[in-house]
Amino acid sequence: MESTIVSAENINAYYGESHAIKNINIKINRNEVVAMMGPSGCGKTTFLRCINRMHELIPNARAEGVMKLDGEDVYKMNVIYVRYKIGMVFQRPNPFPNMSIYENVIAGYLLNGISVPKADKDVIVEKSLTSAALWNEVKDSLHKKGTFLSGGQQQRLCIARAIAMQPDVILFDEPTSALDPISTSSVENLFHELKQNYTLIIVTHNMQQAARVSDRTAFFYLGELVEFDDTKVMFTNPKDQRTQNYITGRFS
């Protein structure tokens, strides 16, 4: 059964005068993995940041249109609630350097001042780290600083941190571009697991990655959504000439 969880209607985003993304309409279903690909500067990250309203943090940046999460307008909701519901993982692993691994996982609760009984905390930490495929590697060093982990482990820690808040959607902004191939594959394998419980939106400029992990793929070019279709169709039989050119590497 498919149901829309994120729907964008006529989203436009600006940085000052420059029009970064133009009239994007997209509907993303529950429990699917959507990859967004396109050349650098095509607006895919900007669009991603419009979903959980991180875009508006940049000075002079603004977004227009209707972004719906489960039928509710994100731009009219409390921004804090929006970000509870939509988790985010960044390009570079960014665990909190002043916190232990344990604290990093429940950072969402700690920093928001949500009090959780110790037993529940333990459960949340174990569950989140297990779903992030990190539990076995760090279960003996939960109280060490998170920054001592390797890059790939740090990125999975950040994923665990996002999962711990039990969001509906998790946004990934080029999550593997700072990682080596082995760490990349461990993060990619994770996507298949996470799909059972969450909706994943992944920005990538790595086409192979989009092909490997996603159910559907969106192609952005110069701030426009050129094509959005099943990944198989996108990579075998794209309808738009520009998509064709991009996946065959005919323009940069």
Partner 1 sequence: MEFSNQQNQSLAMQQSVRFTISGKEKNMVAAFFLSLILGPLGLFYSTTVGGIVMTVIGGLILLASKLTESPFLLKWGLIMVWIVSMIWSYNTAKKTIKNAEKRLMFRNAESLLYKILIFILAFAITIPLIVILVYIIKQGVTQVNWHFLTHVPAPVGETGGGILNALVGSFLMVIMAAIVSIPIGMAAGIYLSENAKTKLAHYAGLCVDILQGVPSIVVGIVIYFWIVKPVGTFSAVSGSVALAIMMLPIVIRSTEQTLKMLPDSLKEAALSLGVPYHRVMLKVIVPCGFSGILSGIMLSIARVVGETAPLIFTAFGNPYLSGAVTKPMESLPHLIFTYATSPYDEWHNLAWGASFILLVFVLTLNIITKVITRKWKVQL
Footprint (CB under 8 A) of partner 1, residues 58-77: 59
Closest CA to 68 of 200, 218, 162, 168: 168
Q: For residues 186 and 122, is the Cβ–Cβ distance under 8 A?
A: no
The residue among 187 and 207 lying less far from partner 1, judged by its C-beta, is 187
Three-state SS at 206: coil
110 binds partner 1 (CB under 8 A): yes
Phi, psi of 98 (to 5 degrees): -95, 5
Does residue 21 contact residue 50 with C-beta atoms inside 8 Å?
A: yes
CB of 224 to partner 1, least distance (A): 26
d(CA 53, CA 158): 19
Q: How far is the CB of 1 from partner 1 (least distance, A)?
A: 29
Minimum distance between the CB of residue 66 and partner 1, rounded to whole angstroms?
21
| Residue 58 vs 233, nearer CB to partner 1 | 58
- Which of 98, 241 has the CB closer to partner 1? 98
- What are 120-128's contacts with CB under 8 Å, separation 24+? 124/164, 125/164, 128/160, 128/161, 128/163, 128/164
Contact between 177 and partner 1 per CB under 8 A: no
Nearest approach, Cβ of residue 47 and partner 1 (Å): 16
Distance CA 241, CA 10 (A): 23
Kindly report the number of other CB atoms within 10 A of residue 84's CB atom: 17
Q: Residue 36 Cβ, how far from partner 1 at the closest point, in Å?
A: 17
Residues in 184-243 that interact with partner 1 by CB under 8 A: none
Is 116 among the residues that bind partner 1 (CB under 8 A)? no
Separation of alpha carbons 134 and 105, rounded Å: 11
Quote the least distance from Cβ 127 to partner 1, whole Å. 17
**14-22, 78-86, 125-133, 212-220 -> range binding partner 1 (CB under 8 A):** 78-86
Residues near partner 1, by CB under 8 A: 52, 54, 57, 59, 79-84, 87-88, 90, 92, 94-98, 107-108, 110-113, 145, 147-148, 158, 161-162, 165
